[in-house]
Structure 1
Amino acid sequence: MDHSQDAPLPDSSRGSSGDTLLIRRAEVSDVAAIVAMLADDPLGATRESPDDLTPYLAAHTRLAADPNQHLVVAERAGKVVGTLQLTLIPGLSRQAATRSLIEGVRVHADERGSGLGTLLIEWAVETSRAEGCQLVQLTSDATREDAHRFYERLGFVASHVGFKLQL
């Protein structure tokens, strides 16, 4: 599958209504829906500002111009129902391995429990493979225990301790 183009997922991704799920690059017109999903949980509600899209629109411009960034949305029946950001990171460690980083995974409240999160992560892993990555990594807030179980079910291993420094 050519991941640079919009691509519908296999028939198994069709909802009960038969609507095809499309994972595609996020466009400027998707930014408000993405930010709304980022803000729609206890942590996001304290970190995001959906009333002022100015910084998000500027970020979208930077992301769209960077070939190592894949900001995508999942769309069903014309509605944005999920999102994630996949970043490709070339490096020298691990014998000059390229790794990918999954961030900002969100599923619209109406779609939670539908398997959409699994489809998004599977897309990210498949895209990472196609891009020549040897490792896929992600971080998850320490309080998101349900998310940790979800990632472990998909084969991710909690192998490192992460540190952050707010600037």
Structure 2
Amino acid sequence: MEKEINFRLATRNDLEQIVAMLADDVLGSKRERYGLPLPTSYIKAFKAISADPNNELVVADDGNEVIGVLQITFTPYLTHQGGWRATIEGVRTSASSRGKGVGTKLINYAIQRAEERGCHLVQLTTDKQRPDAIRFYEKLGFQATHEGMKLKLK
């Protein structure tokens, strides 16, 4: 029998599991610093996200542990007649949950939240080095309609 998955805003008590998931892949292991105690930068970022009404750090919880995470940022734009967008970032599922539909349910929850907030668009980026993630998002209906660009400052 499949466990029920609940979606909720992350709490400070979830932070260690969240950072562990962010660090648990080839790219994340190069940029994250998972160790206990957690670096204070994660705690500061968590507090800022939690205090911002236009940010939601959402976890998927199976009743025993956090098995997925993503961040949704709601942004007003002047384009599209002053419409709001939802940007999904930092999507991860625990290693034990991969391939079991948790990621799909998590993204669908984020889309539902965007609809509830009146957004006209949901956007996300994924690293070009993640072909499986690209296929996953395309399967859910996302399309690569723009070329994303970044400028790293530090």
* TM score, norm. by length of structure 1: 0.88
- Structure 1 unmatched runs, 5+: 1-15
Q: What RMSD in Å do the two structures reach over aligned CA positions?
A: 0.8
Aligned to 1:33: 17
The one-letter amino acid paired with 2:59 is V
Aligned to 2:46: 60
Identify the structure with bigger relative contact order (alpha carbons < 8 Å, sequence gap 6+).
2
State whether residues 32 and 53 of structure 1, in contact with CA within 8 Å, keep that contact through their aligned partners in structure 2: no
* Percent sequence identity over aligned pairs: 48
State whether residues 71 and 84 of structure 1, in contact with CA within 8 Å, keep that contact through their aligned partners in structure 2: yes
State whether residues 87 and 101 of structure 1, in contact with CA within 8 Å, keep that contact through their aligned partners in structure 2: yes
Between the aligned partners of 2:123 and 2:87, the Cα distance in structure 1 is: 5
Q: How many residues align?
A: 151
Per-residue CA deviation, residues 106-125 of structure 1 (Å, 9 max, x unaligned), is 00000000000000000000
State whether residues 69 and 92 of structure 2, in contact with CA within 8 Å, keep that contact through their aligned partners in structure 1: yes
Aligned to 1:20: 4
State whether residues 111 and 122 of structure 2, in contact with CA within 8 Å, keep that contact through their aligned partners in structure 1: yes
The one-letter amino acid paired with 1:166 is K
Tell me whether 1:108 sits opposite 2:94 in the alignment.
yes
Aligned to 1:43: 27
Between the aligned partners of 1:59 and 1:158, the Cα distance in structure 2 is: 29
* TM score, norm. by length of structure 2: 0.96
Displacement after TM superposition at 1:94 (Å): 1.1
Displacement after TM superposition at 1:53 (Å): 3.0
